[in-house]
Amino acid sequence: MTAVEWGLAGQLALAGLGVLAALAAPARARVGLTGVLSALVGVAGAVTGIVVLSGGQGRLSLSTSLPLDPMTLEPTALGGFFMLVAGAVGVVAAVYSIGYVHGAAAARPVLAAFPAFLAAMQLVPAAGDLLSFLAAWELMAVASTVLVLAEHASRAEVRRAGLWYAGMTHLSFVLILLGLALLAAHQGGTSWAELATADPDSATAAAAYLLLVVGFATKAGLVPFHVWLPRAHPAAPSHVSAAMSSAMVTMGVYGLLLVVVRLLPGGPTWFGVVLVALGAVSAVYGILQASAASDLKVLLGYSTTENTGLMVLAAGIGLLLREHGAPGAGDAALLACLLLVASHAAFKTALFLGAGAVLSASGQRDLDRMGGLGMRMPVTAVTFGVGALGAAALPVTVGFVAEWTLLQSLIHGARPGDRLIAVVMPVAVAVVALTAGLALLTFVKAAGITFLARPRSEGAATAREAPRPMQVALVLAAAVVVGLGLLPGQLATWAHAAVEAPSAVSDTTAIRLARIDAVLVPLAVATALGLAVALVAALASTAARQAPRRAVDLAWGCGGVRSSARMQYTATSYAEPLVRVFDQALRPQRDVEISHRDESRYLVEQVHFRQSLHDLVEARVYDPLLGFVMRVGAVGRRIQNGSIHRYLGYSFAALVLVLVVVSW
């Protein structure tokens, strides 16, 4: 057996042990043991991914009792990259779960679903044929549904979210099944290699492509299939939201890359255009909703839509450029896509885990009721801050490296005489630039309102720092965000290998896009910033000797000193100017009630202000659709009224009908 085969078998065995531990271990050791075994599943996945990316090969066949070919696990470099990402996220989330899991999330079935979920996420990219892919995909969907439903007994919104999630995730499964079945029926084989012989210009390929794109886009949370994301994330326990958002959602991106790079390579131009359009709409819509959101986890959920949107946009641009005479820039765009996947995994893990720590410490998810947590939860504050820097793509985080690569590929993708590129590229740049700007506001809001200023509620005022295992996981995630931001070379080398881009010359410290002559050395940027900070800090400490800092008990605030903490800006008011600018796109519903004093209508007694934001896509697309289905159901119910006479009548009518048909 090769190292890869050992790794694959190890993941399966460890996941089995994890499930067993969750079900059978004594109550005291259950959470810890399952957490440790889940972390080991993640380690096995990440190590296997690295081995595959460094050229390792292996093939694990699992025979089934079905009259089909055996299921094979045979990861390629692309799969290896996603295994690495999923494994790394799994490790951090599992360590976090040791300190975090309690109450309903510690029930046996929920606990058992976690290692199964992690293993399934690592098997999806390892799958070498249709059957194992679908099996792993379904296991991933079912296990995550169980995890989302962890707190179903105590919270009604969890049950609703579970329904949405189960519905959407199975819609995704059915579409993928149909798409792959279409290809398999046409080609007469089930392994990826056999499917890949299909002619990408044929009508079958086009139909399969559309089915697969919608199926994978649903999993990736792209607009208009994103509706489950902002519901499922707040409902799920935080280590699950982190794993779902950082790793599971990007499996949708893996699926799309699998289709366009491996199954149907060299497809017609509209393949790429579809991806660019989906990605662009998702990125802008996602970040707009995120910037207006005032629930921390909903905000992060929408920001996931933005990030997957950017990944898919990059993939689409990569396809277009590769086929339109700019292979260097195209490779850079695909590289950017994978870097975005890795960076999103890193910072979103830090953010969701941080959100979980805030949630369990303050009992609040509503940003409008937080504040001042930076003093009480310093570790969480700093790690969440690092994650927010990554999400805002600022130096020196891995988010910045990814966005830089994407922008470079766009700059160098200018093609003379190609009308399509001339239209697509400026739009893509505008989209990336707009999302970058809005992401900045969103994450300043998320971090600033949560951790700075004065507490806006009792829960926030009495919050305590998270337990040790959670802190370890948070620091780990933040260290990856900064570490990869400083030394992105190895990651870039792996990503190069995954997209099979030639001329990958990267050392550990730099990203070199050799074919388009662009180089980024984040360490140099960090050194320059560090020098400047050291210089100013040295000056400050010189000055501090003559004029030391003096503590005063109240901020000045233009004299409004003794105002209550509720007079501060909240998340809602922070985003208000922006919501006003994008009023037409967001359509917030506002209720303002002013009650006057009895003496005079010029004297205001109270003002009530209520603002709610509804997802426009949901209101305009899903509500009518669901309404229609419900109406059909209501009509269907009319023929089922429970009366035994009526059912006997139905049977009789059916018998007569059969006899008539037979005697025809």
Partner 1 sequence: MVAVLQVLVVVAASPLVIGLMRTVRARLEGRVGAGVLQPWRDLRKLWGKEPLRAEGTTWVSVAGPITLLASSLVVAALTPLLGTAGLAGLPGDLFVVVSVLLLGTVALALVGLDAGTAFGGMGSSRHMTIAALVEPTVLLSVYALSIPAGTSVLSGIVRARLDDPVSVLSPVSLLALLALTIAVVAETGRLPVDNPATHLELTMVHEAMVLETSGRDLAWLELGSWMRLSVLLGLLSTLVVPWGIATEVSVTTLALAVVALLAKLTVIAGLLATIEVTLAKLRLFRIPELLAGSFALAFLAVTASYLVVQA
Cα–Cα–Cα angle for 442, 446, 450, rounded to 5 degrees? 160
CA distance linking residue 130 with residue 126, whole number of Å: 11
Q: Which residue in the set 29, 174, 528, 658 belongs to the binding site for partner 1 (CB under 8 A)? A: 528
Helix axes 468-486, 522-546, angle to 10 degrees: 120
Beta bridge partners of 127: 73
Instruction: Decide whether 171 or 411 has the Cβ nearer to partner 1.
Output: 411
Q: How far is the CB of 465 from partner 1 (least distance, A)?
A: 14
Q: Does 635 bind partner 1 (CB under 8 A)?
A: no
Give the 3-state secondary structure of 75-104: CCHHHHHHHHHHHHHHHHHHHHHHHHCCHH
Residue 457 CB, nearest approach to partner 1 (Å)? 13
585: contact with partner 1 by CB under 8 A: no
Residues 485-524 contacting partner 1, CB under 8 A: 517-521, 524
Q: Which of residues 343-372 bind partner 1 (CB under 8 A)?
A: 371-372
Pick one of 156, 558, 592, 607: the residue that binds partner 1 (CB under 8 A): 558
C-alpha pair distances (Å), 91 with each of 44, 87, 88, 96, 477: 9, 6, 5, 9, 10
Rule CB under 8 A: choose which of 163, 210, 277, 394 binds partner 1.
394
Determine the interface stretch with partner 1 among 6-14, 18-26, 134-142, 563-571 (rule: CB under 8 A): 563-571
Distances (CA, A) of 581 to 291, 571, 577, 584, 588: 12, 16, 6, 8, 12
CB 179 within 8 A of CB 209: yes
Position 363, amino acid: G
Give whole-number Cα distances, 216 to 169, 173, 409, in Å.
Answer: 10, 9, 25
List binders of partner 1 among 399-418 (CB under 8 A). Answer: 400, 403-404, 407-408, 410-412, 414-417
- Residue 575 engages partner 1 in binding (rule: CB under 8 A): yes
- Within 13 Å, how many C-alpha atoms sit on residue 85's CB side? 39
548 binds partner 1 (CB under 8 A): yes
Q: How far is the CB of 434 from partner 1 (least distance, A)?
A: 5
> Judged by CB under 8 A, how many residues of this single chain contact partner 1?
91
Q: Does 660 help bind partner 1 (rule: CB under 8 A)?
A: no
Q: Does 185 bind partner 1 (CB under 8 A)?
A: no
CB 573 to partner 1: min, Å: 7
Smallest separation, CB 239 to partner 1 (Å) = 27
Instruction: State how far the Cα of 600 lies from the Cα of 662, in Å rounded to an integer.
Output: 86
574 binds partner 1, rule: CB under 8 A: yes
Residue from 563, 631, 650, 653 touching partner 1 (CB under 8 A): that is: 563
Contacts of 660 (CB under 8 A, 6+ apart): none
Rule CB under 8 A: say whether 82 interacts with partner 1.
no
Contact between 327 and partner 1 by CB under 8 A: the answer reads: no
Q: Does 547 bind partner 1 (CB under 8 A)?
A: yes
Q: Find all residues with CB under 8 Å of 617, minimum gap 6, and list them.
A: 223, 224, 226, 227, 285
**Among residues 149, 258, 310, 438, the one that binds partner 1 under rule CB under 8 A:** 438
Q: Name the nearest CA neighbour of 305 among 233, 235, 372, 254.
A: 233
Across the strands, what pairs with 619?
none
- Considering the rule CB under 8 A, would residue 375 count as an interface residue with partner 1? yes
Of the candidates 30, 231, 324, 445, which one interacts with partner 1 according to CB under 8 A? 445
**Residue number, 24 or 423, with CB nearest to partner 1:** 423
294 makes contact with partner 1 (CB under 8 A)? no
Q: Give bridge partners of residue 590 from the DSSP assignment.
A: 611
Cβ proximity to partner 1: between 143 and 299 the closer is 299
Q: How many residues does the chain have?
A: 664
Tokens describing residue 261: 């790079």
Query: If DSSP codes are grouped into helix, strand and coil, which group holds residue 519?
Result: strand
CA 548 to chain centre: 46
Q: How far is it, in rounded angstroms, from Cα 80 to Cα 662? A: 58
- Residue among 429, 472, 479, 613 that touches partner 1 (CB under 8 A): 429
Q: Which of 3, 163, 514, 565 binds partner 1 (CB under 8 A)?
A: 565
Q: Which is nearer to partner 1, 192 or 443 (CB)?
A: 443
| Nearest distance, CB of residue 347 and partner 1, angstroms | 15
87 touches partner 1 by CB under 8 A: no
Contact 444, 392 (CB under 8 A): yes
**Residue 422 beta carbon to partner 1: minimum distance, rounded to whole angstroms:** 4
User: Which distant-in-sequence residues (6+ apart) come within 8 Å of 108 by Cβ?
Assistant: 22, 23, 30
Nearest CB to partner 1, comparing residues 556 and 664: 556
- Residue 486 CA, chain-centre distance (Å), reads 23
- The owner of tokens 């003093």 is 375
Q: Quick one: 186 or 415, whose CB is closer to partner 1?
A: 415
Q: Does 256 bind partner 1 (CB under 8 A)?
A: no
Residue 589: CB minimum distance to partner 1, A:
19
Token pair for residue 661? 């048909």
Q: In this chain, which stretch among 132-140, 239-247, 397-405, 625-633 interacts with partner 1, using CB under 8 A? A: 397-405
C-alpha gyration radius of the chain: 27
List residues bridging with 520 in a β-sheet: 511
User: Does residue 291 interact with partner 1 by CB under 8 A?
Assistant: yes
- Ranges within 453-472 binding partner 1 (CB under 8 A): 453-454
Of 55-63, 97-105, 233-241, 559-567, which segment contacts partner 1 by CB under 8 A? 559-567
Point out which span in 104-112, 168-176, 452-460, 470-478 binds partner 1 (CB under 8 A).
452-460
Q: What is the 3-state secondary structure (H, E, C) of 376-423?
A: HCHHHHHHHHHHHHHHCCCCCCHHHHHHHHHHHHHHCCCCCCCHHHHH
Minimum distance between the CB of residue 214 and partner 1, rounded to whole angstroms?
30
Asked if 659 touches partner 1 (CB under 8 A), the answer is no
What is the closest distance, in whole angstroms, from the C-beta atom of residue 449 to partner 1 in the complex? 7
